[in-house]
DNA sequence: TTTAGTGTGTAGTAATTACTACACATGAAT
DNA sequence: ATTCATGTGTAGTAATTACTACACACTAAA
């Protein structure tokens, strides 16, 4: 269940090997939380922190924010707002592509990107 | 700000005109909440209720659940989970189509629907 | 050998979420 | 005239979220 803590600890310790400033205390300091709190989170004793903290953590550790949020079971407010602006449309779209293979969705993303719409 | 309450009250009162069983008390009873609570919500004195209650309300009032949730500022757990299963892909897709006109997205939805993938 | 930095255990808390319970006044039905 | 159903005001609360503060033990450096 506590994927998030394990993942953060592993990543932080990797970085720590080549840069002493990635101690738990210093990272906690830079992202503005108490070391105790980060310790608990990494050890799985507490739930993942707020979106704001996860985003700072992702930035600090060089991780993809969307992925780190997802590991913590969260969807960013940014994405929620995209859905909230056109809920029916987005809901239909998401349900349509839900079971599509990755490559098919990627094709859509790319078509849309260089799209002629 | 309190779109949700106004919307629900209006819809409920519409239904009430042709069906006496859409009184505040009876609707509250059927969806399993206290009349006081529904009253406050409709008058905008309280935040929209939980996803579960919004869904029951949508069903009761014959409203689109995704839309009613959105009016209440919520994205359903169902949609969140679709995103959480492939966060990077879905985040990219949503950001791509965010500013596209409705008809272009609808085209994608349809293409995907009858798609050859 | 004291100082500095490390991680962690225990305890507590402020804010928010999602409600319930009681009491009351008004209007319609019997 | 009384019962019934309506909506609503006030008050309170249990659960969850998102943390902080203090204290301690261990290790490495000066």
Identify the DSSP state of A99: T
Report the sign of the C-alpha dihedral through residues B39, B45, B47, B48, in that order.
positive
pLDDT given at position B116: 56
- Whether B73 sits inside 8 A of A84 (CB atoms) is yes
Q: Which two tokens stand for residue A67?
A: 């992925």
pLDDT tens digits along A3-14:
999 999 999 999
* Superfamily of structural domain B3-77: lambda repressor-like DNA-binding domains (1.10.260.40)
Separation of alpha carbons B48 and A40, rounded Å: 33
Domain boundaries, given as residue ranges, for chain B = 3-77, 86-113
Residues B45-100 have pLDDT tens digits of 999 999 999 999 999 999 999 999 999 999 999 999 999 999 999 999 999 999 99
**CA closest to C23 C1', residue:** B36
Q: How many CB pairs under 8 A join A and B?
A: 98
User: What distance in Å separates residue B64's CA from the closest CA in chain A?
Assistant: 8
Tokens 């757990």 — which residue? B77
Question: Is the predicted pLDDT of residue A34 greater than 70, yes or no?
Answer: yes
* pLDDT score of A117 more than 60: no
Per-residue pLDDT band for B111 (boundaries 50, 70, 90) equals confident
Q: Which pLDDT band, with edges at 50, 70 and 90, does B117 fall under?
A: low
Query: Taking CB atoms and an 8 Å limit, are B82 and A105 in contact across chains?
Result: no
Judge whether residue A114 has pLDDT over 70. Answer: no
Place of tokens 């987005």: A90
Residue among B42, B53, B38, B55 at smallest CA distance from B7: B42
Instruction: Search chain A and give the residue with CA nearest B107.
Output: A117
Contact B87 A100 (CB under 8 A): no
Tell me which residue of A54, A109, A36, A97 sits closest to B97, measured CA to CA.
A109
The tokens describing A2, both together, are 């506590």
Closest-approach residue (CA) in chain B for A106: B89
Cβ atoms of B88 and A67 within 8 Å: the answer is yes
Whether residue B61 contacts residue B12, with contact meaning beta carbons closer than 8 Å, is answered with: yes
* Cα gap B108→B94, rounded to integer Å: 13
Residue B1: its pLDDT value, please?
53
* Reported confidence tier of residue A115, pLDDT bands at 50, 70, 90: low
Question: Residue A72: which residues within 8 A CB-CB, separation 6 or more?
Answer: A4, A48, A49, A54
Query: Is pLDDT of A109 > 80?
Result: no
A62 touches strand D (CB under 7 A): no
**Cα radius of gyration rounded to whole Å, chain A:** 18
Chain B CA closest to residue A92:
B109
Contact A84 B70 (CB under 8 A): yes
**Residues B12-50: pLDDT tens digits?**
999 999 999 999 999 999 999 999 999 999 999 999 999
Kindly report the nearest CA distance between residue B87 and chain A, in angstroms: 6
């Amino acid at each position: 269940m506590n994927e998030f803590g394990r993942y953060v600890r592993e990543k932080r310790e990797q970085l720590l090997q080549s840069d002493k400033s990635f101690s738990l205390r210093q990272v906690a300091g830079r992202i503005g939380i108490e070391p105790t709190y980060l310790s608990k989170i990494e050890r799985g004793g507490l739930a993942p922190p707020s979106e704001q903290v996860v985003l700072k953590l992702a930035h600090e550790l060089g991780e993809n924010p969307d992925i780190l949020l997802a590991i913590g079971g969260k969807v960013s407010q940014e994405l929620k707002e995209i859905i909230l602006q056109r809920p029916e449309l987005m809901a239909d779209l998401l349900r349509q592509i839900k079971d599509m293979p990755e490559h098919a969705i990627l094709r859509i993303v790319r078509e849309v990107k260089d799209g002629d719409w």
